[in-house]
Amino acid sequence: MTTEIVTRFCEQRPFEPFVMVLSNGREFHAMHPEVITLGEYALIVYIIHPSRQLEVIDTTHIASIRTAYAVNSSGTFKE
């Protein structure tokens, strides 16, 4: 996945929730803008766990990104 595509999803305003699928099949749901931050060389994803763990994901391991909600015929999101 290109950094430009990942950046577009992360920085869109208003923020629209999305799901990243990694090359190993793991999925990360970015439901709020505060759970994901772009780094200089990697995508940093804040996973909300009781232990407040932080996971760093290299963008080369992102196989796909999809919207979390369906898109209607006008191209806007619906929840």
Average the pLDDT over 7-30 and give the result: 91
Cα 45 versus chain centre, distance: 8
Cα–Cα dist 11/64, whole Å: 17
Question: Residue 54 domain-assigned?
Answer: yes
Q: How confident is the model at residue 25 (pLDDT cuts 50, 70, 90)?
A: very high
Between 12 and 3, residue with greater pLDDT: 12
- Structural domain containing residue 19: 3-67
Average the pLDDT over 36-42 and give the result: 75
Q: 14-44: string of b/e by CB count within 10 Å (b at 16+)?
A: eebbbebbeeeeeebebeeeeebeeeeeebe
| Number of domain units in the chain | 1
| Residue 76, pLDDT score | 56
Q: How confident is the model at residue 19 (pLDDT cuts 50, 70, 90)?
A: very high
Average the pLDDT over 48-65 and give the result: 81
Q: What is the CATH number of the domain that holds 13?
A: 2.30.30.100
Cα–Cα dist 59/40, whole Å: 11
